């Protein structure tokens, strides 16, 4: 089951396009057909087209089915995602994200930053053209497939080293919607797949289609506090950083979970190369009997946990094991006193 169903939610050196041989001479694809341009169109399609469909999520030996309704009206996006196996629903608009959990008789509401660009959870799992660094990834074309009754064009995003994974994406030829996306490892094995088995793109979607279909009158409602970010997070407790970063990774976000004792709050630090992302979690070390140090796997993600200076440090991301080990193993507190 994807993170949005299991937890609260969780959540290219560009090669000169594929060459065609015409009259015995190689000719680059037109700019509009180049992989990077296609990815730009994909990002716009996922966020700003109306669509309804069934999405199958495969990772490891698990699978789940999601029903997505994505409405754009007067420039405003509202989206409803229903997890078929648990009946859970995620509803997103410009102001907030609401999670409905029938199995727990609970509703969780998280505020969104109205100033931020809207982003579909689906888009969040897809690579964007602007985020792909030429020195880290190579773009090329993949053979087309017919998916959900629609013709597609394929794109391959291949990493240039062993610190990150690659992607294969098939876009609807007419609309550039991503109909199939695969995360692949160094041996080209599929670690995770998102596949639309059915999709329609109507001109209009009624407001009723993105309303909850679960009666929540008797459910407990909790409104999540927004985690401190930026300067506020920097002031909350000890500061942490990663001393040895893989090529291309840089700090993008610092968050601090509110706690009565700021020193004991959970810290969340995010690093990214523009495409791959690694989250570093730092919290006071728990009892030895509760610790689970070392390498573990969660779906397509690797996680590595270790103890440093009385804190438990965990690095997690959809990257190879060597990457999370490097992150967690070289994490250090900036408040740590240096030996004379």
Q: What is the pLDDT of residues 75-116, one digit of tens each?
A: 899 999 999 877 899 999 988 999 999 999 999 999 876 545
Sheet containing strand 301-308, edge to edge, reads 228-229, 250-256, 267-272, 277-284, 311-317, 301-308, 294-298
Q: Answer whether 280's CB lies under 8 Å from 329's CB.
A: no
DSSP assignment string, 275-292 = S-EEEEEEEE---GGG--
Amino acid 40: pLDDT: 92
Pairing of strands 13-14, 137-142: parallel
List b or e across 52-90, with b for residues whose CB sees 16 or more CB atoms inside 10 angstroms.
Answer: bbebbbbbeeeebebebbbbbeeeebbbbbbbeeeebbb
What value does the mean pLDDT of the chain take?
Answer: 82
pLDDT at 124: 76
Report pLDDT digits (tens) over 208-255: 999 999 899 899 999 977 655 554 444 444 688 999 999 999 999 877
Residue 119 has pLDDT above 70, yes or no: no
- As a whole number of angstroms, the distance between CA 237 and CA 257 comes to 10
Q: What percent of the chain has pLDDT over 90?
A: 60
pLDDT of residue 258: 52
- Higher per-residue confidence, 264 vs 261: 264
How many Å separate Cα 250 from the centre of its chain? 17
Q: Which of 14, 295, 242 is nearest to 139 (CA)?
A: 14
**The CATH number of 3-210 is which of 3.40.50.180, 3.40.1360.10, 2.102.10.10, 2.50.20.10?**
2.50.20.10
Query: Looking at the predicted structure, is the pLDDT value of residue 20 above 50?
Result: no
What pLDDT does 290 receive?
A: 60
Quick one: pLDDT at residue 239?
Answer: 83
Residue 148 is given by DSSP the state: T
Pinpoint the residues of the chain covered by CATH 3.30.200.100: 228-333
**Where are any strands of DSSP class E within 176-274?**
178-184, 190-200, 220-223, 228-229, 240-242, 250-256, 267-272
Mean pLDDT of all residues in 299-311: 91
Vertex 31, ends 179 and 154: CA angle to 5°? 25
Classify residue 207 by burial, with Cβ atoms within 10 Å: 0-12, 13-18, 19+: exposed
Q: Which residues contact 328 (CB under 8 A, 6 or more apart)?
A: 280, 304, 305, 306, 313, 314, 315
For residues 281-307, give the mean pLDDT: 82
pLDDT at position 262 is 43
What percent of the chain clears pLDDT 70, i.e. is strictly above it? 77
Which fold, 228-333? Phosphorylase Kinase; domain 1 (3.30.200)
């Amino acid at each position: 089951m994807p993170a949005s169903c299991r937890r609260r939610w969780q959540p290219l050196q560009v090669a000169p396009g594929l060459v065609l041989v015409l009259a015995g001479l190689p000719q680059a694809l037109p700019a509009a057909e180049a992989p990077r341009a296609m990815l730009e169109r994909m990002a716009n399609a996922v966020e700003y087209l109306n669509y309804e469909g069934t999405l199958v999520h495969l990772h490891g030996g698990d699978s789940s089915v999601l029903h997505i309704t994505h409405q754009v009206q007067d420039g405003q996006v509202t989206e409803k995602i229903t997890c078929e196996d648990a009946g859970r629903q995620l509803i997103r608009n410009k102001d907030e994200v609401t999670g409905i959990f029938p199995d727990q008789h609970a509703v969780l509401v998280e505020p969104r930053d109205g100033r931020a660009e809207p982003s579909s959870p689906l888009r969040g799992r897809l690579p964007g053209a602007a985020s792909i660094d030429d020195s880290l990834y190579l773009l090329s074309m993949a053979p087309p497939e017919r998916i959900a009754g629609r013709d597609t064009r394929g794109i391959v995003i291949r990493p240039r080293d062993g610190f990150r994974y690659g992607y294969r994406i098939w876009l609807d030829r007419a609309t550039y919607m991503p109909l199939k996306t695969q995360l692949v490892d160094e041996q080209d094995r599929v670690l995770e797949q998102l596949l639309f088995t059915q999709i329609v793109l109507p001109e209009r979607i009624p407001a009723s289609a993105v309303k909850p279909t679960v009666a929540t009158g008797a459910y407990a409602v909790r409104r999540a506090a927004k985690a401190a970010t930026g300067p506020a997070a920097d002031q909350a407790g000890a500061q942490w950083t990663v001393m040895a970063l893989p090529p291309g990774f840089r700090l993008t976000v610092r968050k601090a979970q509110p706690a009565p004792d700021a020193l004991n709050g959970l810290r969340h630090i995010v690093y990214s190369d523009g495409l791959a992302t690694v989250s570093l979690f730092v919290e006071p070390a728990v009892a030895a009997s509760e610790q689970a140090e070392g390498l573990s796997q969660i779906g397509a993600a690797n996680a590595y946990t270790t103890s440093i200076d009385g804190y438990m440090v965990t690095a997690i991301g959809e990257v190879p094991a060597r990457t999370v080990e490097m992150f967690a193993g070289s994490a250090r507190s900036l408040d740590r006193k240096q030996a004379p």
